[in-house]
Structure formats: C-alpha cells, structure tokens
Amino acid sequence: MREQPLERPSGEAGPGPSPGSVAPAPPTPSDAPGPSGPPAPGGGGFDAATGDGPEPAEGPRRRAAAARAWAGVLEIRRVTGGAPGGGDGTAVPAPWERTRAVRAVSLALEAAGVPPSAVGGDGRRTRTGYRVSPSEEPGSVRVEWLGPSVSEARREAGERLRACARLLEERGWEALLYRGPRRTPFLSVTPRDS
C-alpha cells in the first residue's frame, strides 16, 4: 500500500490570502500534515510510530501530541458521519483511515499508550512493541509484537496482541489473531463497517 499525504477534497476552496496580502510560505516537511493523521492543533502533523523506524521521542509532549491527533481522528469521524446507516459516527474508521490503515492503526495504538517496536540504524530491533505493516489482504493491516530478544517478544506476543485487539476493537477496528510460520502470532486488522 502506498502512503499518500492528506489532500483537500477536489472542488473545496481553502482559505487564501486576502487581496493585497502576502501568501504564507508553503509548509515545511516538519509542519506539513503527514500521512499519519490529521494535523495537530497548532500547526504540525503527528507521525505515529509504525514500529519500523527509530525510537520515537518519549515523554509528556509526545503523549499529548498523540492524544491531540487521536482527538482529530474522532472529529474527522464525527464530521464524515462514519457509521453507514447512521449511528455513532465516531464508532467506525473514517474514509481517511481506511485508505491509510497502517498509519491509522499505528495512531490508535500509540494514542492508547501501547509502545511501538523500533529499529536501529543497523536494521536490528532496539525496542519491544507493536509493528504495523501492510497485509497481503487488501484493506487490512498486520500487527505483530516484535523486539530485540526474539524469544522474549514471542513469549509475550499472544497476550500483548490480544490486548491490542481489544483496544483496536474499542476504536472501530476488527482484529483477528492468527498464527503464522513457526506459530508466531499476529493480528489481521480491518476497519469495522458498523
């Protein structure tokens, strides 16, 4: 699945400079909305950790940014009406989330406080946590529990993935636990329709 940045729906006019004013400079990569979610209040976008990058900064600022990004997702769900046939519009993923499921699922997990895995410059895992990646099945993503110590991560994977599944289901996703090669557990995650 190819990740694409958020775009303004075609035909929708955005705020422009008033006559005689200077147009603002285009956003820099650090303040442009990323493919991970809606822009955080105050200008910058939040890039949720997928578990395949370097260790994200930790602390209250990162947690607050993740919470603001998740609140933005809920607002997008509310505005777009989410649930087919009415109902709670925040209960199911919005179109944005469905087309960027890796980023949306990563945001749902990180905003809930689940630690992401991380990879060092040498390509080795440096931290135990979730890893979200595209799945072979269209419309779904794969969530694994990985870490620097394969045996330790594998021992806790089943329990941790079940907890991730419960959390994702509370946030509008269906998550089914499977066993892959060598009985390694993983979640197959798809957006819930209602």
Residue 38: inside a domain? no
Residue 26: inside a domain? no
Number of Cβ within a 10 Å radius of residue 87: 12
Residue 182: the pLDDT is: 84
Residue 45: the pLDDT is: 79
Residue 14: the pLDDT is: 37
Residue 105: the pLDDT is: 98
Residue 85: the pLDDT is: 58
Residue 173: inside a domain? yes
Beta strands 173-179; 118-119: pairing state:
unpaired
Contact residues for 75 (Cβ-Cβ < 8 A; gap 6+): 38
Residue 159: inside a domain? yes
Residue 143: the pLDDT is: 98
Instruction: Please tell me the total count of domains within the chain.
Output: 1
Q: Do residues 95 and 88 touch, judged by C-beta distance below 8 A?
A: no
Residue 86: the pLDDT is: 56
Residue 32: inside a domain? no
Strand order in the sheet with 185-191: 129-134, 141-146, 185-191, 173-179
Strands (E) in 91-147, as ranges, are 118-119, 125-127, 129-134, 141-146
pTM: 0.75
Residue 92: inside a domain? yes
Q: Do residues 36 and 51 touch, judged by C-beta distance below 8 A?
A: no
Per-residue pLDDT of the chain (194 residues; tens, 9 = 90+): 333 322 323 333 333 333 333 333 333 233 333 333 444 334 457 899 999 999 988 899 999 999 999 999 999 998 887 555 556 678 899 998 999 999 999 999 999 999 999 999 999 999 999 999 999 988 899 999 999 988 888 899 999 999 999 999 999 999 999 998 888 999 999 999 87
φ, ψ for residue 45, nearest 5 deg: -90, 165
DSSP SS3 for 68:
helix
Residue 40: inside a domain? no
Domain that holds residue 134: 60-191
The continuous run of DSSP H or E covering 76 comes out as helix 60-80
DSSP SS3 for 116:
strand
